[in-house]
Structure 1
Amino acid sequence: MGTVAVLGGTVAGVAAAARLAHVGHDVTLVEPDPGWPDALAAQLGATAGSVVVDFPAPWRDLFTKSGRPAKGALGLHGLELVPHPDSPGDRGEQWYRDVDALGEDAAAAWRDLVDAADRTWQALRPLGLEAELTDAAVARAGLDPRRSLAHVARDLRHPVLADRVRAVATDRGLDPADAPAWLTSRLSIDRTFGRWQLVDAAGAPAPASALVDVLRGRIAARGVPTTATTPAAAVTIDTRDPGLTWHRPRRWRPRDTFVDQLLARPRLADPSAPGRFVAHASSPGGAEPWAQVLSGALASYAAHAHLTGEDIRPTNTHQGHGRAR
């Protein structure tokens, strides 16, 4: 096996470190800030004091691939992942709820929008989530280069539905006019997988710090030390976020579309720097914690292949259909 330095105590960093250590590499997590666990908790986010998990499959896969299934890893800390009371529900639940609250026309408009978002989600999966982003994959995805979430909200012509679309942006700290329309894919994720939350043994919502403790426990169990200085290593994975954000395309700059911005994001590997890989909140996969877990997984697969020539990517991806249980 080989030596790996993971730069940054981030969601992507911990995910990559745990996976690589589990398959036998000598991994060091490099984080000079002693307050990094608090920063990690902030990345995980919290709503009403609890961690909301809107796509649990990548987390479950991370725990399994680092040596202990999620139920056991969480159970060691007296925690459990359960459905969130505000989960949007499956297709049928959402339909009847919307019919009762908004009327059949609005319910149909929302159903059609989320059905379209399902197709968008399928197009996005190869773009930095299940595989390294490439120009060819982006071209095949057919992403609208200039349409924003603000455009989607405006076209719905219903204030409640428009607010739901705008919330996809605002919940992520974005202006809807600055967010690409393909982020409607997150509506598909919500409907397909539901929302989940972390609770303690008494069933009370658990804070983000509790999940940080679980993640730190995983890398500790795998023998990953944390240091403030970067050691010599055969492979480096940089998970420190440069803080890239989306911005609305400028009309007078034809090469400033949302697609251009996506293609300009840091790629997983740099051919000019063999053995150096990138995975962070500004990676093409996205900034959500689950997306960072997937970016970290891609970096771990690439690092392992670089060191050993072996492909350990799963043959059956975990971004499949159906609600996670």
Structure 2
Amino acid sequence: MSRVVVVGAGVGGLAVAVRLAAQGHGVTLLEQADEVGGKLGVRRRDGFVFDTGPSLLTMPHLLDELLADTGGPDPGLRLQRLDVACHYRFADGTGLAMPGRLDDVPAALDAALGPGRGEQWTAFLRRAEQIWDVTRGPFLESPVSAAGLVRLSRRLGDVAAVAPWVSLRRLGERYLHDPRLRTLLDRYATYTGSDPRRAPAALATVPYVEQAFGSWYVEGGLGRIATSLRERAESLGVRVRPGCRVQEVTTSGGRADGVRLADGTRLPADVVVANADAAQVYRELLPPSAGARARARLQRATPSLSGFALLLALDGVGPPAAHHRVLFAEDYDAEFDGVFGTRRRGPHPVGRPTLYVAAADDPAVVPRPGAGAWFVLVNAPRHDPAGGVDWDEPGLADAYAARLLDLLAERGVDVRPHLRWCETVTPADLERRTLTPGGSIYGTSSNGARAAFLRPANRTPVPGLFLVGGSSHPGGGLPLVLLSARITAGLVGAA
């Protein structure tokens, strides 16, 4: 049995702690915040409950597998499959209620957008399924390794299916002749914090997975996943310590041998697993001599986009029209130019962004009937006072929030008469809460054909130190983070 210290109690840290404890290791889980969950955040005020991170779960079997592997299902964690995955409003005013089941999608597309649109999307998803079949086992479910990538590269048919030299936007243009379908596809690049014009065609698997496995909501909010995993961890003997910020990962003879806390306390360990952002680990928690090549790769990668969110406490709105709504921008390319910047202009808040609205019809998240706890999110440039946007600039957040409320109304969702109060969550707030540089939601983006190879591996160059979570392999989002935990626990168990 090894002594394991896990740094960070986001979903990745919680999941890997649970798996390692079930393997028989002695695990201490450290979290700098007062609550566990990381980016799976929850805000409670006046009886309103907001998920401030993910608002839906896909591939729920991965969560079921984690619980089954470590003691059995949690009867208090109740999942609900959404009949309508999302309601979309396109720039021309067209509406689309996207069904939550794959078999129902073609007919819905034909009815909303015109005959033949369902077949276009189906043809695209057939290609996406090919990519999924090729990449799932050797890449998403396995530790990343040079040997594995070489083996994959030798299968010419598989390489042709994945088309690593083609962008997601370009792949979509081959199948989707309706510009609204191409806009719909572009949205899925943002699931990895990326620009569809630069993200690889492999991200076609994102809409395939969402529609093949369904969109799921956790009754009471997705924050209950973190609560459930904490309870499971503690039942297995994990010592969970919130309010403990790690200052450094200590080493001896080139091997990780523990951590030092901000108060100077040192905790010895045989293994350290970091669920912190990979950039923070390599740049701040390790000495300069450790992980130099990994730091260099991170410097070549494009940070993922961030987000600006409104938490809206509403009265008198009644049941929401759909759990998830997306109100598309008139010019999606201008949005991505604003978020990532161009040669002519640096990153800047987008004047007319796409609006993502999550509003659960769940009495557990509101204080009374007719009230609404709405989470409104827009893509935003990361917090970068030196070379981009300073989200702490006085007045900026309030002015931008007012602009977004006006834009909601302009696109047919005027909640201003029902507004009880509004809170904002900026990229700077996200950086402070999660210690993620710039508030980049997914660490590095998938921009560029080589982006997947720049994402840090779970096994670091420092013996005894491992990474887990959205900024490491295989990537961000709840399903991939759960896979990351499974991969990392396997690596630790085999070490």
Q: TM-score range by the shorter chain?
A: 0.7 to 0.9
User: Which structure 2 segments of 5+ residues have no match?
Assistant: 43-49, 86-98, 153-157, 247-258, 260-266, 280-301, 306-339, 343-445
Alignment of 1:94-105 (within 5 A): 94-105=105-116
Partner of 2:451: 261
The answer to whether the aligner puts 1:152 opposite 2:171 as a matched pair is yes
Cα deviations across residues 119-152 of structure 1 (Å, max 9, x unaligned)? 1112221354311112343352524334222323
Change (3 A) 1:138 1:213: same
Find the partner of 1:294 among 483, 486, 489.
Answer: 483
- Which shows bigger deviation, 18-27 or 164-173? 164-173
Matches within 5 A, 1:182-197: 182-197=202-217
Question: Does 2:51 match 1:53?
Answer: no
Once residues 47 and 104 of structure 1 are traced to their aligned partners in structure 2, the CA distance between those partners, rounded to angstroms, is 37
Cα distance in structure 2, aligned partners of 1:4 and 1:128: 26
Q: Hey, what does 2:225 align to over in structure 1? A: 211
Q: Aligned partners of 1:178 and 1:258: how far apart in 2?
A: 5
Could you give the per-residue CA deviations for residues 153-172 of structure 1, whole angstroms, max 9, x where no partner exists? 44423122112101102355
Deviation (angstroms), 1:286: 1.6
Q: Does 1:236 align with 2:275?
A: no
Q: Secondary structure at the match of 1:274?
A: coil
Structure index of larger Rg: 2
- Following superposition, the deviation at residue 35 of structure 1 comes to 4.4
Contact between 2:6 and 2:272, CA under 8 Å: does it hold in 1?
Answer: yes
CA separation of 1:217/1:122 partners in 2, compared to 1, >3 Å: closer, same or farther? same
Mapped partners of 2:56, 2:118: distance in 1 = 25
Query: In structure 1, how many angstroms separate the alpha carbons of the residues matched to 2:303 and 2:132?
Result: 20
Distance apart, 1:104 and its partner CA = 3.7
Q: Deviation digits for residues 20-54 of structure 1, max 9, x if unmatched? A: 11121101112233244464426xxx779994111
CA distance 1:36–1:90, change in 2 (3 Å): closer
Asked whether the 8 Å contact 1:129–1:298 carries over to 2, the reply is no
| TM score, norm. by length of structure 2 | 0.52
Residue by residue over 1:252-281, the C-alpha shift from the partner in whole angstroms, topping out at 9 and shown as x without a partner, is xxxx983422112211213x4322221121
CA distance in 1, matches of 2:454, 2:473: 9
Is 1:222 the counterpart of 2:201 in the alignment? no
Give the Cα–Cα distance (whole angstroms) in 2 for the partners of residues 258 and 171 of structure 1.
15
SS at match of 2:148: helix
CA distance in 2, matches of 1:238, 1:212: 17
> Shift in Å at residue 198 of structure 1?
0.9
- 3-state SS, counterpart of residue 67 of structure 1: coil
Measured in 1, the distance between the counterparts of 2:193 and 2:51 equals 14
Greater percentage in helix: 1
In structure 2, the residue corresponding to 1:226 is in which secondary structure?
strand
How far apart, in 2, do the equivalents of 1:9 and 1:145 lie?
34
Residue 82 of structure 1 aligns with an amino acid whose one-letter code is Q
The amino acid of 2:277's aligned partner reads D
Partner of 2:116, secondary structure, is helix
Q: In 1, distance between residues paired with 2:4 and 2:139?
A: 21
- Would you say the 8 A contact 1:145–1:257 is kept in 2? no
Change (3 A) 1:246 1:153: farther
- Deviates most, 148-157 or 229-238: 148-157
State which of 264, 269, 278 in structure 1 corresponds to 2:467: 278
Question: Within the alignment, does 1:23 sit opposite 2:23 as a pair?
Answer: yes
Mean Cα displacement is larger for which, 97-106 or 283-292?
A: 97-106
What are the equivalent positions in structure 2 for 1:16-95 lying under 5 Å apart?
16-37=16-37, 39-41=39-41, 51-69=55-73, 73=74, 75-76=75-76, 79-87=77-85, 88-95=99-106
Say whether 1:180 aligns with 2:200.
yes
Normalization by structure 1: what TM-score? 0.78
CA contact (8 A) 1:98 1:106 kept: yes
Identity between Structure 1 and Structure 2 (%)? 26
What is aligned with 1:316? none
Contact 2:9 2:38 in 1 (8 A): no
- Cross-structure match for 1:113: 124
Distance (whole Å) between structure 2 residues aligned to residue 265 and residue 80 of structure 1: 33
Query: Which moves more between the two structures, 80-89 or 293-302?
Result: 80-89
Once superposed, what is the RMSD of the aligned Cα atoms? 2.9
Displacement of 1:285: 1.3
Name the structure 2 match of 1:309: none
**CA–CA separation in structure 2 for the residues paired with 1:291 and 1:138:** 18
CA distance in 1, matches of 2:277, 2:268: 22
3-state SS of 1:236 partner: strand
Are 2:196 and 1:170 equivalent residues in the alignment? no
| Matches of 1:196 and 1:21, distance apart in 2 | 28
Which structure would you say has the larger RCO, counting Cα contacts within 8 Å and 6 or more residues apart?
1
Q: Please identify, of 128-137 and 160-169, the stretch whose mean Cα deviation from structure 2 is larger.
A: 128-137
Q: Deviations over 1:206-248 (max 9, x none)?
A: 2233222212111111121123253211111112123664699
3-state SS of paired residue (1:61): helix
Amino acid across the alignment from 1:265:
R
Judge which range, 122-131 or 55-64, deviates more. 122-131
The answer to which of 122-131 and 11-20 deviates more is 122-131
Alpha-carbon shift at residue 283 of structure 1 (Å): 1.9
User: Number of matched residues?
Assistant: 284
- Match runs of 1:131-146 below 5 Å: 131-139=142-150, 140=152, 141-142=158-159, 143-146=162-165
The answer to which of 153-162 and 170-179 deviates more is 170-179
Q: What amino acid sits opposite 1:279 in the alignment?
A: V
Q: Distance in 1 between matches of 2:274 and 2:51?
A: 29
